[in-house]
């Protein structure tokens, strides 16, 4: 501590004796610290902070391997994995949906999602008003029910607490509102989505190729059971992929012969930007290091004797 206080006193004395250098040091350090803080503030929520879900590290994305590359799963693959897995509390599939709200006001098209019944349970977030989807909602020709985002509920329906049970029209069909999501719900799989409805695929249409049930069009998400590791889940799904059973026949387009890919939701949503963000963060930290080394060398006794004439000379000689 005595050495530290001596260094601080020496540094303050040098700054007082050379006010021009003091201003230059402040500018150099300010630029380095400011740039590092700004970049880290942008990178931190994406790469380091946990996702806004309970036990977010247990949320996984599951992908088929089709024609040699990562691909979305089919509905029947989802059904098989949902029934046979031993590693997940809930699994669900989702696809984009763009309905148009009609009625007394101007028609408006929204980004939305068609989801299987367990979607919100897989994320660990339930509606704040009303109820979640049930298995009876997600069947072929099932009821037209819909869950609204909190923003849509407040903007188009005035935050009316009696909205649950009311009828709204999306794309010329009448839907019953059964729930409203919590304020601040962050749907990382589709941040712009404001409305959700059941998938309602045909679970019995197994043998016919070319149907939507066999199309690779669904993103699959699952919540690991407590105590189950990622490696255990991968092993479990690999077992299912390589041991077909008669109850779940597979067509040639969905044989699962190459297995399945399982990644954490965080790794999955950041996979395309993570290398670039880390490179930018590293570059900015290097700038901060250069600024610190320049200022430190300029404050050294050798620099005070005229051995360094500029900040760049202190670093590069």
Q: Where are the alpha helices (DSSP H) in the chain?
A: 2-17, 19-47, 75-84, 119-123, 150-157, 230-241, 265-270, 274-299, 301-304, 311-316
- Write down the pLDDT at residue 102: 86
Q: Is the pLDDT of residue 127 over 80?
A: yes
Please report, for residues 130, 138, 139, 173, 201, the alpha-carbon distance to residue 169 in angstroms, rounded to integers and kept in the order given: 19, 19, 20, 5, 21
Token duo for residue 274: 């993570």
Judge if 297 and 206 occupy the same domain: no
Which range has the top average pLDDT, 170-174, 282-286, 292-296? 170-174
Q: How confident is the model at residue 28 (pLDDT cuts 50, 70, 90)?
A: confident
User: What is the number of domains present in the chain?
Assistant: 2
- Write down the pLDDT at residue 316: 37
- pLDDT per residue as tens digits for the range 42-60: 666 666 677 889 999 999 9
- Write down the pLDDT at residue 270: 76
Judge if 167 and 306 occupy the same domain: no
Judge if 106 and 149 occupy the same domain: yes
Judge if 241 and 113 occupy the same domain: yes
Q: Is the pLDDT of residue 62 over 70?
A: yes
Judge if 115 and 257 occupy the same domain: yes
Judge if 89 and 185 occupy the same domain: yes
Range of the domain at 18: 2-49+273-316
- Write down the pLDDT at residue 312: 40
Judge if 125 and 20 occupy the same domain: no
Judge if 19 and 35 occupy the same domain: yes
């Amino acid at each position: 501590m005595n050495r530290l206080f001596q260094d601080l006193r020496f540094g303050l004395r040098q700054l007082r004796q050379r006010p021009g250098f003091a201003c230059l040091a402040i500018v150099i350090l300010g630029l380095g610290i400011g740039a590092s803080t700004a970049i880290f503030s942008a990178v931190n929520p994406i790469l380091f902070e946990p996702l806004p879900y309970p036990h977010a590290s247990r949320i996984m994305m599951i992908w088929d391997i089709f024609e040699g590359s990562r691909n979305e799963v089919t509905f029947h693959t989802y059904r098989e994995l949902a029934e046979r897995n031993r590693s997940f509390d809930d699994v669900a599939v989702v696809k984009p949906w763009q309905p148009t709200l009609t009625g007394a006001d101007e028609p408006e098209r929204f980004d939305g999602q068609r989801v299987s019944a367990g979607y919100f349970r897989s994320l660990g977030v339930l509606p704040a008003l009303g109820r979640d989807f049930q298995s009876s909602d997600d069947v072929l020709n099932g009821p037209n029910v819909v869950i609204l985002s909190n923003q849509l509920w407040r903007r188009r329906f005035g935050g009316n607490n009696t909205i649950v049970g009311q009828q709204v029209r999306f794309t010329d069909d009448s839907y019953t509102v059964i729930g409203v999501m919590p304020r601040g719900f962050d749907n990382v799989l589709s941040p712009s989505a404001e409305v959700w409805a059941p998938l309602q695929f045909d679970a019995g249409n197994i043998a016919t190729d070319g149907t939507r049930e066999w199309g690779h069009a669904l993103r699959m998400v699952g919540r690991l059971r407590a105590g189950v590791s990622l490696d255990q889940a991968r092993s479990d799904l690999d077992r299912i992929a390589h041991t077909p059973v008669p109850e779940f026949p597979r067509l040639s387009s969905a044989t699962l012969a190459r297995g399945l890919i399982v990644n954490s939701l965080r790794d999955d949503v950041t996979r395309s930007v993570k290398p670039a963000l880390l490179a930018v963060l590293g570059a900015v930290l290097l700038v901060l290091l250069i600024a610190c080394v320049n200022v430190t060398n300029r404050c050294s006794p050798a620099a005070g004797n005229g051995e360094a004439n500029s900040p760049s000379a202190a670093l590069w000689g």
